[in-house]
Structure 1
């Protein structure tokens, strides 16, 4: 019963009856005040127009026109309350009324359809604009395709899938379909076809609006994917250029930094070979210089080897139970000239700290931090190394009283090949790999490393790893 009441034709008939009843009652009421038949017909004309506007087609207007003529004949033409017409003027009046009613209802229906088409076109244009704007802001191949599939389903209720020529397939359907269940729309990029869009419409055909929306979605997917491809290629070119620049910088730095200690080693060896009457103290001092330069070369080669492992993805750590105190003393012992040429202080906690770590790699981290402090402090400068424990973490802190870290260096201090040019290239040796390697090692241990400037002047480097007291 509810479905019958809500049926469009039942609703239109109810509206027709209400309008005709109101028109008839109003016309009879006007006639009691001496209103002429011609004006009464205008009331019925308004009823015809209202019926055409409030119902679903001009046929309802024609029906109302005929009913209005019969009501007018019955109530307002002589003889009254009959369907007979004796006056020729009434016949002509009814004829022109009927003609005007049919024409008016037809024009009203046509105007209404044009209005509906215009509204639908406006809605479609707005939808296409919103779709185009959405594709501008989305990035990523899968996100672009999913956006198109979602738009198609929301506005056509048809599931779809995208197949690209690079064998990327994104299926937005929940079931299995055969080739008879879908239609294909090409996805065209800026210069060529890059894939197809499958619409699972079960061969039901598409309306004009649906076809326009689907083709627009396919075009937007193609343009967005082309844009993504161009952006990826630009980023790849930029990355390749940066890598080439970094390789050039690395080669220049390596050649310079290898030449300096090798020159010293060759010079000291020459002095030893040419000295016939030198005492043992002088020879011992030259041998010490050779040992220091060779140790520095070994540390630099170790950094280069570790960085190549990090770049190739083969960097691994082997964790064992290590005593933090042993790691620290081992690192301090390998930093040449630390205690002879700097005012060095070491602070260790009273407790023994154990950590599941790669001891060799952590030694390398502390060596890198101490070497960095040596490079940026003057002869006789102060360097301190302290270890503390709190909340299940062992904190290692290296401080110096050098010039500190400049603002432009702070943002990329732990990047590869980052070196300070202050003081000249001969004064500060290094190719800028120590801090980058230190960050990779600490991160691999699940810890964190950072740097900051001291209020008293100089820099402070801190890192932590998980540890426990014994």
Structure 2
């Protein structure tokens, strides 16, 4: 038969060619045609194999895969219940322009080509016919298991019919009529149809019933002759009843099996989903997934996580009460690396590296691989239910890890945006506020250089004082900025046990010089209170709060500094009797660049960093800080540090 002519429209442009792989004897011909056309047009060539739930690897399939790769194709393996739909989904999502697929002699009505054309209207489809081979079912049952069921059902059939014959003999030698014997045999036929796996055993039971009843109980006995025509109708009805009962029974069994499998699958997946919802770290995701798979499959599992775009050292997880193995061979390690790089399944019972005792699966979403799982197959292929749940659990874990990665990236982006906003505000505030004291200092210095002899002593003292105040403000600002940088960079605090009262006394020596215009009242606890702290930073907190009170309270006001024990904490309070804090200001008073009047400082000499920095310092010590109103008027601040008992 001649090959299908290649469509010029598809080859006149850069193409992505997809060829479908199978174990058919004609598949090499399909592969060679696709490879030749890919070479002629300089197109990329992808070989695709769709594995169904019951699919098994054959020698012919392996040879066809190797042939496609030797001809320059990139091999991909996907999973799906409907082969045609799976091929269409892959082609539609990978910019495929030309599809090559073989057609067996069974597809006389061209259902494959019609279905593909409907699903892929924009892709050129090349059907390569073959009359020599026949399309085989994608799922091949395990012959040994099938043989086992046949033997079991045969034994059930013989036992039931033998029992019915024994009971029938008892009825025959009693006063019961032959109608009762017919009832016994019909009952035996029904029981056989229900207890056996295939309806043919019910039909066989009906045939045996006819032969046994006719041979043993109908005159002339021990022959197969029938003189009464009424029995013929009885036999026909019995066979019909057996076929009907077997069909209904088979459907009920299949429904019950599907319901049981679905319930089990839903239960396992629900349990895995609930556990994965609580997981927060990558190790927790892996641990939950592996434990669920071990419970489901009863097989050893080896986990390869990813770090720096390469597989980490494998972690072995063994079935409970099972002797641990010696580990994986070097060849298995190479297969795991191949699966990671190619993002497809390999190993036992697959088309790649099937001589391995492990089956390897990539935990991935899209093109992101989070790990590789190796399952010790123990020469046992997965059942359909195991296969479905396995892929579902791995998929669920991959999705959860993808969501976690996206959340982490989103959080990093938000932190970066917040950091940039903070830096922009800080730079704008510094560039504006630093100009004022520097201008004042430079102006005062210029006045002193050019007119010092003309100034009175009082005027010179005022200028010196202004220079001092401006320079101290700059020093305090720099100290705050350095502390902010230290906390943001995560520098470890230099904590030492200190007497709280001594730290407060020392801090009050470094407050604004205008403190002399106010009255400082010290109410220190007589108890010897100690706390572990970075002394310089805690002193900075006290200085910032006291300077704030000096700045915003009227001249002659009282500023009370006190400490006292509150359970396991020492509470330090700084209160004034100035104008106080408005209710709407308190929730924002510790925000950066907040001054109580302007959300972001653009005027005046106040960066709005002191209280924000104080909160960061106290929280870095594991303490708390709060602001409140003092009655009848005034502002109060209280921070707490954990007491060290001596």
* TM-score, normalization by structure 1: 0.77
Matched, 1:346 2:488: no
Aligned equivalents of 1:15, 1:419: Cα separation in 2: 92
Question: Do structure 1's residue 173 and structure 2's residue 317 form an aligned pair?
Answer: yes
- Contact 1:447 1:466 (8 Å CA) reproduced: yes
Residues 185 and 197 of structure 1 are in contact (CA less than 8 Å); yes or no, is this contact kept in structure 2?
A: yes
Instruction: Encode CA deviations 1:114-152: one digit per residue, 9 max, x unaligned.
Output: 324532563476368748965677554333333432332
Say if 2:563 is the partner of 1:387.
Answer: yes
Of 61, 70, 88, the match for 2:228 = 88
From 279, 294, 304, the equivalent of 1:153 is 294
Aligned residue for 1:269? 445
Residue aligning to 2:282: 141
Q: Is the 8 A contact 2:520 2:560 kept in 1?
A: yes
- Secondary structure at 1:88 match in 2: coil
1:309 aligns with 486
The alignment of Structure 1 onto Structure 2 pairs a total of residues equal to 455
Q: Is the 8 A contact 1:20 1:64 kept in 2?
A: no
Match in the other structure for 1:164: 306
More moved, 242-251 vs 95-104? 95-104
Aligned to 1:197: 373
1:368 to 2:578 alignment: no
Change (3 A) 1:9 1:203: closer
Q: Aligned partners of 1:14 and 1:294: how far apart in 2?
A: 109
Of 275, 278, 281, the match for 2:458:
281
**In 2, Cα distance between equivalents of 1:288 and 1:446:** 39
**How far 1:429 sits from its partner (Å)?**
3.8
For residues 142-199 of structure 1, give each alpha carbon's deviation from its aligned partner in whole angstroms, at most 9, with x where no partner exists.
3333343233223222343243363465746134344343111233422455543322
Structure 1 residues 360, 98: closer, same or farther in 2, change over 3 A?
A: closer
Secondary structure of 1:151's partner?
A: helix
Residues 321-370 of structure 1: CA distance to partner in whole angstroms, max 9, x if unpaired?
Answer: x4433322322222224534445433223455455544333322210121
Map of 1:230 onto structure 2:
406
CA offset digits 1:355-393 (Å, max 9, x no partner): 554433332221012123334435555432112245564
Q: Is the 8 A contact 2:433 2:604 kept in 1?
A: no
Rg (Cα) greater in structure: 1
TM superposition shift of 1:247: 0.8
- Find the residue that maps to 2:625 and give its secondary structure: strand
Q: Conserved in 2, the CA contact under 8 Å of 1:338 and 1:344?
A: no
Q: Distance in 2 between matches of 1:19 and 1:262?
A: 113
Q: Say whether residues 1:111 and 2:251 are aligned partners.
A: yes
Instruction: Name 1:187's counterpart in structure 2.
Output: 363
Distance change >3 Å, CA 199–CA 409, structure 1 → 2: farther
Instruction: Report the secondary structure of 2:453's partner residue.
Output: coil
Query: Deviations along 1:253-294, whole A, 9 cap, x unmatched?
Result: 222222222233334334444243433233223322322222
The correspondence for 1:210, drawn from 386, 402, 408, is 386
Q: Is the 8 A contact 1:324 1:353 kept in 2?
A: yes
**Contact kept in structure 2, 1:347 and 1:387, CA below 8 Å:** yes
- Aligned mate of 2:503, from 314, 319, 327: 327
Is 1:420 the counterpart of 2:420? The answer is: no
Deviations 1:43-89, CA, capped at 9 Å, x for gaps: 6434422343245555764675467557856997457xx65666332
Q: Which runs of 5+ in 1 are unaligned?
A: 1-7
* Residue 254 (structure 1) aligns with: 430
In 2, distance between residues paired with 1:43 and 1:144? 60
Which one has a larger percent helix, Structure 1 or Structure 2? 1
Query: Is residue 207–residue 239 contact of structure 2 (8 Å, CA) maintained in 1?
Result: no
Of 302-311 and 371-380, more deviation after overlay is shown by 371-380
CA distance in 1, matches of 2:214, 2:602: 117
Q: CA shift at 1:317, angstroms? A: 1.5
- Structure 2's unaligned 5+ residue stretches are 1-151, 319-323, 333-355
| CA apart distance, 1:441 | 4.0
Instruction: Measure, in 2, the Cα distance between the counterparts of 1:104 and 1:26.
Output: 29
CA gap of 1:10–1:47, structure 2 versus 1, over 3 A, is closer
After alignment, is 201-210 or 115-124 more displaced?
115-124
Greater CA drift, 432-441 or 245-254? 432-441
Of stretches 265-274 and 83-92 in structure 1, the one that deviates more from structure 2 is 83-92
Q: CA deviation at 1:427?
A: 7.1
Query: In 1, distance between residues paired with 2:639 and 2:514?
Result: 20
Instruction: Give the 3 Å change call, closer, same or farther, for CA 258–188 of structure 1 in structure 2.
Output: same
Q: Greater relative contact order (Cα 8 A, min sep 6): structure 1 or 2?
A: 1
